[in-house]
Amino acid sequence: MKNNFGSGMNGDADRAGARETLDALSNDRLALAERVKTPPWYYPLLGVATAFIIGSPGVEPPSRSVLVAFGVIALVALTVASQKKTGVTINRTAGPRSLGIAVTLGVAVAFLLGVALTLESTGHEAWIALTAAVAFLAVWLLGRLYDRAYYLELRSGR
């Protein structure tokens, strides 16, 4: 059986069509990467919301619930606002580097919450503010790093 793929007029037309399709996919990938860029206000505000939650063990019980509630409401509001601004809902990482950064950030926040709860239970509430500040910085800086990795992975198709 003879294969005529790549020979004659149809082969050239097939190659040109495939090239056009690949170029269109590449352009779509680049456009999507540009579109999902997180707004500059997102990570600092996400850091504040996280700091509210992490810092909540450092305040008296009635105020503790208020801080947690504001933190959670802010997390939801930021997610909705970002989705409305970009028009895209992201439900997974783009590749291994962004996944690694997301896991690192999640572990860091969980660890810092554990530290804050430990400080509260041992009577060292004054140090919880420092833990909340570290959480703020971690979310802001690792969030920006995640965003950059996500953008690069999406652009490259990985």
Q: What is the Rg, in whole angstroms, of the alpha carbon atoms belonging to the chain?
A: 23
Whether the model clears a pTM of 0.75, i.e. scores above it, the answer is yes
The string of DSSP letters for the chain reads ----TTSHHHHHHHHHHHHHHHHHHHHHHHHHHHHTPPPTTHHHHHHHHHHHHHHGGGS-HHHHHHHHHHHHHHHHHHHHHHHHHHS----S-SSHHHHHHHHHHHHHHHHHHHHHHHHHHTT-GGGHHHHHHHHHHHHHHHHHHHHHHHHHHHHHT-
How many Cβ atoms are within 10 Å of 50's Cβ, its own excluded? 25
What is residue 152's predicted lDDT score, i.e. its pLDDT?
A: 86
| pLDDT tens by residue, 20-72 | 766 666 666 666 666 677 888 999 999 999 999 999 999 988 899 999 999 99
What is residue 38's predicted lDDT score, i.e. its pLDDT?
A: 84
Yes or no: say if 138 and 109 are a contact pair by the CB < 8 Å rule: yes
What is residue 97's predicted lDDT score, i.e. its pLDDT?
A: 93
- 109/131 Cα distance (integer angstroms): 10
Predicted confidence (pLDDT) at residue 1 exceeds the cutoff of 60: no
| pLDDT tens by residue, 131-143 | 999 999 999 999 9
What average pLDDT does the segment 88-117 reach?
90
